[in-house]
Chains A and B, each alone.
Chain A
């Protein structure tokens, strides 16, 4: 089993959970450690309860894990909710002035900090947080110098006095812990690696900047807003036009306008905003103007649970906009993949002149992961497909030689951008002929309609050929094959490792490209599987139903979770054991951590 260490910080929104989290994350990352951070929070600006889990270790950390090693409750509520979940070897650092500990399990060390003795709390309202950071790092075996450096950066904008005050408080916490508390049995190692730590939203925004994006627009909606924030802050350096639009209908249509004029164009939203965009997706398909839309799923339906994760939008993506048309739909597998998937989907959308949808979710959008900076490639392949950006001498004005929707074997017609001599044409949302003239009004013509429909749909074969089929990971002939899609990659991977350690061989089929699906390749992989279970973060088994509709494949069992929180490895491990013993074919694990 991989060695990891997890810190949990809990408190009310506004109590400053984020800052100690950022400090820990930076210190871990600069030691060359990997990390994964997940913040469980509510749609509230002040109050409520938020709980940030940062899990770190020398190898890749792909999910929040099952165990907390250090709990830092910033209020009584956080203590009461989480102390009981700590197990042997863990510790709890808390403000002894304001918080009473409950009953801890055997082997859990309670570490009270006499905050008012150690710091002037009338001057510094978050002194307890800074003391706890210092104390925690001492117990992990991290030298104080690292703390000083990061605090310096964290509070740089507030001036030298604030930096030195906080460094002093952290030092007091550090020294107090050294004198009074035990150190953890596993002291955090160092490696020579350097990592970038980023959220999925930042990754997708940066992926856009890398692949030549020039236009981004959005309406704020959790959990997609982080993309807008990165774009807005970096637009001028990246040369990207960023607009906040009046609604998501305006967003998708504005993005299509920019794309039609010839630039790469993208927008992001969540399920509710996406619903408003769906007619626009049809416009993109009909005018054959490529646009990329990101949907960051949250728990639905309707306003749902805005700050919680779910994989509940799959069928909305599959059915978005009426009529048949080619589309591309991909779900990133982890935060690093959020970056990579953007250039890939843009190249396909551009080549096949159709809408591309990225199906992300809150877990990736707002979670944070350490990524090798080499994986953030700012020079990816850019393939704009058959795009005409210069007027040819042959295309004299008005001779009708250029046909925007020319019928071709591939279904792809060379696309001229507005402004070129000799290529004037109208792109229409109505059905049209090769030259763009409408056939839907008085000119309605079944032969032409059929020809244009078939032209567009021929692109589906080309799209399928340009996307790789999925692969099976792990040992062949395993006792159980776990099938997931998108963001569950990391937690299923770890569940397989645990199962293998416990003597149950397990492998994983993780789907990244949802459309095209490569159904036959999936069937080929699954026909030899001994016991198949589909794992997904929704109520009805949306992917299971989709897979069945495309391939007739029915698995042996299902693991589903729809309480708003992501899977933890033990949820899957226990469900697999339950199903292998024949007790159930549908498991819905309970989320024990009440946040």
Chain B
């Protein structure tokens, strides 16, 4: 997702503080994601009125209310569709989409796949806690096989989706994974995702301290391994990224899996936007164009 520059005034963290404080449970991974997004916007000096933060429904989807940018708190699973409309109507805006694994990979799965192949220029941050939180603890599309929840009390028998492999297969042009307890690393990935022109997907391990007792901070810490620490890893290599995406267990990679810059973002692929954002266009079409439309019918 590429950003508009034009920082006339200095953007400070205080400018990004929302009208209300987050109502997430103490210790929720989402706090770390919020802090990293705010820090990234300050680092990039993007004025908050040029940013739209768009979410669906769920604990993490309450995000737009906790940050002072333009916000849209939409329907469950529909944030990417709404965000696509926003970006195409005004591509000068920096569009951030925030939500959870159920919202994005479950009910919103169709939009997730198609937004990636469309290469719409947004940064999509999924706060992936492998559980449904706001509905008080049911199995999510990323819950591991065997996990016991209120909806699968004898253990999950369905294989989880692999968001990174799915994103790579669907044609996302920027694919990364972060961990909410790794603030500096996460902030850096968010900045890269905002700068990337095209669809940026960032899956973030954001532990649910209330309902997920399997995938805790303690569980993740010894397993995560930053791709950036491997000097030989090349994020331009799609096959290598696919290979890394399949790692799960004692070693779980985080970092930038993949980025390509040779695919035009949707707004650059559509000539109708060449003259600038649609919101600035004259609402009236030229009289001669209207006449030509009628002439075709005569």
Contacts and interface: CB of A to CB of B under 8 A. Distances in A.
Contacts of B283: 211-212, 214, 264, 382
B86 A261 contact: yes
A400 B270 CA distance: 37
Interface stretch (B70-78, B143-151, B182-190): B70-78
Nearest to B48: A424
A429 B84 contact: no
Contacts of B293: 206, 209, 234, 237-238, 376, 378
B289 to A, nearest CB: 5
Given A418-B93, A419-B70, A427-B73, A210 B82 contact: no
Nearest to A373: B294
Given A210-B285, A212-B284, A435-B19, A261 B49 contact: no
A197 B295 CA distance: 10
Contacts of A249: 78, 81, 110-111
Scoring B50, B87, B293 by chain A CB atoms within 10 A of each residue's CB, the highest score goes to B293
A253 B71 contact: no
B83 interface: yes
Scoring A202, A255, A256, A389 by chain B CB atoms within 10 A of each residue's CB, the highest score goes to A256
A421 B69 CA distance: 10
B72 A260 contact: yes
A126 B233 CA distance: 64
Given A206-B293, A280-B75, A263 B89 contact: yes
A259 B50 contact: no
B57 to A, nearest CB: 7
A429 B74 contact: yes
Contact of A238 (B23, B64, B273, B285): B285
A259 B110 CA distance: 22
Nearest to B110: A246
Interface string A259-290: 11111110000000000000110010001000
Scoring B72, B86, B279 by chain A CB atoms within 10 A of each residue's CB, the highest score goes to B72
A217 B114 CA distance: 14
A437 B84 contact: no
B65 A280 contact: no
Interface in B259-298: 270-273, 275, 278-279, 281-285, 287, 289-294, 297-298
A215 B278 CA distance: 9
B164 interface: no
A106 B75 CA distance: 66
A248 B83 CA distance: 16
B297 A198 contact: yes
Given A255-B85, A427-B72, A429-B57, A250 B93 contact: no
A30 B36 CA distance: 67
B142 interface: no
Interface residues of A, number: 80
A189 interface: no
B235 to A, nearest CB: 28
Contacts of B85: 215, 217, 253-261, 265
B215 interface: no
A420 interface: yes
Scoring B50, B74, B292 by chain A CB atoms within 10 A of each residue's CB, the highest score goes to B74
B289 A238 contact: yes
B68 interface: yes
A398 B88 contact: no
A459 B57 CA distance: 27
B293 to A, nearest CB: 6
B92 interface: yes
A424 B15 CA distance: 11
B149 to A, nearest CB: 22
Contacts of A195: 298
A245 interface: yes
Nearest to B14: A398
B156 interface: no
Interface in B72-124: 72-75, 78, 81-90, 92-93, 110-111, 113-114
Nearest to B292: A237
B52 interface: yes
Scoring B85, B93, B284, B294 by chain A CB atoms within 10 A of each residue's CB, the highest score goes to B85
The 4 A-B pairs of least Cβ separation, nearest first, read A257-B85, A378-B290, A212-B283, A426-B71
Given A260-B72, A419-B70, 15 more contacts: A238-B285, A246-B111, A247-B110, A253-B81, A254-B88, A256-B82, A257-B88, A261-B52, A261-B89, A418-B52, A419-B49, A419-B50, A419-B90, A426-B73, A438-B65
Interface of B: 15, 19-20, 23, 47-50, 52-54, 57, 62, 64-65, 68-75, 78, 81-90, 92-93, 110-111, 113-114, 270-273, 275, 278-279, 281-285, 287, 289-294, 297-298
22 contacts: A234-B293, A236-B271, A238-B285, A239-B272, A241-B272, A250-B78, A250-B111, A250-B114, A253-B75, A253-B81, A258-B278, A261-B90, A263-B279, A382-B283, A397-B15, A417-B279, A423-B70, A426-B53, A426-B73, A430-B73, A437-B65, A443-B20
